[in-house]
Chain A
Amino acid sequence: MTSALISAIKRLHITITPQIRVYSSNVAAATSASTNSLSITKKEWAFQPEYTKPREVWIENLDTIEEQKLGLFELHPSVYAAPPRLDIINQNVVWQRKIRYVSWAHTKTRAEVRGGGKKPWPQKGLGRARHGSIRSPLWRGGGVAHGPRSGKSHFFMLPFHMRILGLTTTLSSKLAQDDLHIVKDLELPTDEPEYLAELVEKRNWGPSVLLVDDTDYAPRNITAATDSLAHINIMPVYGLNVYSMLKHDTLVLTLSAAEKIEERLLHWLHTNTREQSKEFKVNQV
């Protein structure tokens, strides 16, 4: 009954804001809430949302297979409700693909193909076309004119704010499509991969899941469980990127990771980025 009600509210959460809201003072209260009482957190951001309303998400758990709602959590609309610009997402993905791609395709020019030093036949008097080398690009077995030469870097730098917008846009579209979940922490009761696979299956998170935590070291159970599951991966906050978010079906953030991401992106959206927006030079010191 409650789950039906919750899912109904979840479906309507864009149009209806809950009438009764209990505000607790800080986030610590939300994290320490027991399973049977929902805690609803209103956050005080350094940069208050102006027009768009903050997004509300459930805080879920990972320690049982069935989903339990531990509380409600507010997310800043500048980061988690940005307009879904697919073109910006695409440009970020193209950038991530190209930045480290080096093309090793290679062809030989007429100078590098073996032989061809001698003039095949005299210039005049034979009634044949004039040729100077049997390795000319016109000849079969000759060199290639304007062919690919190896070691061609495709490196380029996307403008700084396109990268920031790429992150906010992808996070927002993930949240809008119900593919972003906030969990309290990454503690599992067991280290068996079957448990995690069943949990993902049961909660309909799709086969591939990206877990993002604030810390460099994830808890032991979840690292052991995801070790053999190639499609469930763990990542620290500073590694979060557009490509990985799109590669995985579902993005699971811990509460602290969601806050950290929000804080960092809000910082860059409200700071003087003259240094960061400078033209990128590869050989600069």
Chain B
Amino acid sequence: MATVWRSQSAFARLFAGKTGQILNNATDLGTKLGPGSQSAILARKYSNYAHSPFVTRVKEQYEYEIVKNPPEWAYVQRLLPFDTIPAVTPKESYPSGWVPPKEEAKSLPFFLSRTRNHEIPIYLHITFRGIRKITKIKRIEGDIWLMNEEIKSYLKEKNNRYVETRVHEVGRFIEAKGDYVNQLVEWAHSKGF
């Protein structure tokens, strides 16, 4: 510790009142050195600051051309993130299987609103290492009990068995016991949600 302190103070003594001579103490000091100064430095040892020479020539500013309203600005704008998730423009067909919501769904007594990503909010929750599978329908508006009855009868007809469901009124979701995500998404598409 003591040796370090002594060398530091020697360094400080050397630079007392001469700080204006330190031309550039930036991190990229090495890259900006002129060719003449570099050879001088290379001949020296770096083990002591006091032995290292002063920087002689520093190129402080490279020449730059500032282009206002450049034609390339469209390329920059293309890279910037979306402010909000864009709305889907209507197309003739959607090969991926995505289905746009229909207008007539709004006249139904119940409603399933799309998520911000324009997807139907039906999810599968797997718990107890795959033992329990619960299908969850979220973002329900309107008559949740009527929707529950319709879902029950739809799933019973499809699977020829009784499917247990659970309605959470405050959280506005319905849970069905079992993996019925694809069937319920199909049902939601048929209703126009």
Contact between chain A and chain B defined by CB under 8 Å = yes
CA distance A281 to B62 in the complex (A): 40
Of B53-61, B77-85, B90-98, which stretch is located at the interface? B77-85
Q: Does B156 contact A (CB under 8 A)?
A: no
Given A51-B113, A51-B142, check contact A83 B85 (CB 8 Å): no
Q: Does B106 contact A (CB under 8 A)?
A: yes
Residue in B82, B83, B111 whose beta carbon sits within 8 Å of that of A50 in the complex:
B111
Residues 109-167 of B contacting A (Cβ, < 8 Å): 111, 113, 116, 141-142
The answer to whether the Cβ of B172 comes within 8 Å of any Cβ in the partner chain is: yes
Hey, which chain B residues are within 8 Å of A271, CB to CB? Answer: 82-85, 116
Q: Is the CB of A51 within 8 A of B82?
A: no
Judged by a CB distance under 8 angstroms, whether B170 is at the interface is: yes
Enumerate chain A residues within 8 angstroms of B142, measured Cβ to Cβ. Answer: 51
Q: What is the minimal beta-carbon distance from B117 to any residue of chain A, in angstroms?
A: 8
- When chains A and B are docked, how far (Å) is the Cα of A271 from the Cα of B81? 10
Contact of B82 among A52, A83, A269, A272 (CB under 8 A): A272
Partner of B113, one of A50, A85, A267: A50
B141 and A52: CB pair below 8 A?
yes
Which residues of A lie under 8 Å from residue B111 when comparing CB positions?
50-51
Residue A230 CB within 8 A of the other chain:
no
- Identify which of B81, B82, B84, B141 contacts A46 (C-beta below 8 A): B84
Complex Cα spacing A267 to B142, Å: 24
Interchain CB contact under 8 A, B170 and A85? yes
Range of interface residues on A (Cβ < 8 Å): 10 to 19
Chain B contact residues: helix, strand, loop or mixed: loop
- A168: shortest Cβ distance to chain B, in Å? 14
Please give, as numbers and ranges, the residues of chain A lying within 8 Å of B141 by CB-CB distance.
51-52
- Let me know if B106 and A50 touch, CB within 8 A: yes
Contacting pair A267 B106 (CB below 8 A): no
Q: Let me know if A270 and B106 touch, CB within 8 A.
A: no
Q: Report the nearest A residue to B101, measured CB to CB.
A: A50
Are B113 and A270 neighbours in the complex by a CB distance under 8 Å?
no
Contacts of A47 in B (CB 8 A): 84
- Look across to chain B and name the residue whose beta carbon is closest to the beta carbon of A269: B116
A 182-217 to B, binary, CB cutoff 8 A, 1 in contact else 0: 000000000000000000000000000000000000
Residues of A within 8 Å of B106, CB to CB, are: 50-51
Q: What distance in Å separates the Cβ of B121 from its nearest Cβ neighbour in chain A?
A: 13
Chain B residues with Cβ below 8 Å from A52 are: 141
Distance (whole angstroms) from the CB of B123 to the closest CB of chain A? 16
- Which residues on the B side are within 8 Å of A51 (C-beta)? 106, 111, 113, 141-142
Neighbouring B residues of A267 by C-beta, 8 Å: 83-84
Contacts of A50 in B (CB 8 A): 106, 111, 113
Residue of A at shortest CB range from B107?
A51
A 82-111 to B, binary, CB cutoff 8 A, 1 in contact else 0: 010100000000000000000000000000
In the complex, the chain B residue whose C-beta lies closest to that of A86 is B170
Residue ID in chain B nearest A52 by CB atoms: B141
Q: Whole-angstrom distance between the alpha carbons of A270 and B118 in the complex?
A: 10
By a CB distance below 8 angstroms, the chain B residues around A46 are: 84
Chain B's closest residue to A87 (CB) is B170
How many Å lie between the Cα of A83 and that of B81 in the bound state? 31
Cα(A83)–Cα(B85), bound, Å? 24
How many angstroms from the CA of A52 to the CA of B142 in the assembled complex? 8
Chain B min CB distance to A264 (Å): 12
Assembly CA distance A269 to B113 (angstroms): 13
- Taking CB atoms, residues of chain A closer than 8 Å to B83 are 267, 271
Residues 153-193 of B, flagged 1 when their CB comes within 8 A of A and 0 if not, give 00000000000000000101000000000000000000000
Q: Chain A's nearest CB lies how many Å from the CB of B107?
A: 10
Query: Which single residue of chain A is at the shortest CB-CB distance from B86?
Result: A270
Interface residues of B (CB under 8 A from A): 81-85, 106, 111, 113, 116, 141-142, 170, 172
12 A–B contact pairs at CB < 8 A? Answer: A46-B84, A50-B113, A51-B106, A51-B111, A51-B142, A267-B83, A267-B84, A269-B116, A271-B83, A271-B85, A271-B116, A272-B81
- Known A47-B84, A267-B83; further 6 A-B contacts with Cβ < 8 A: A51-B141, A51-B142, A52-B141, A270-B84, A270-B116, A271-B82
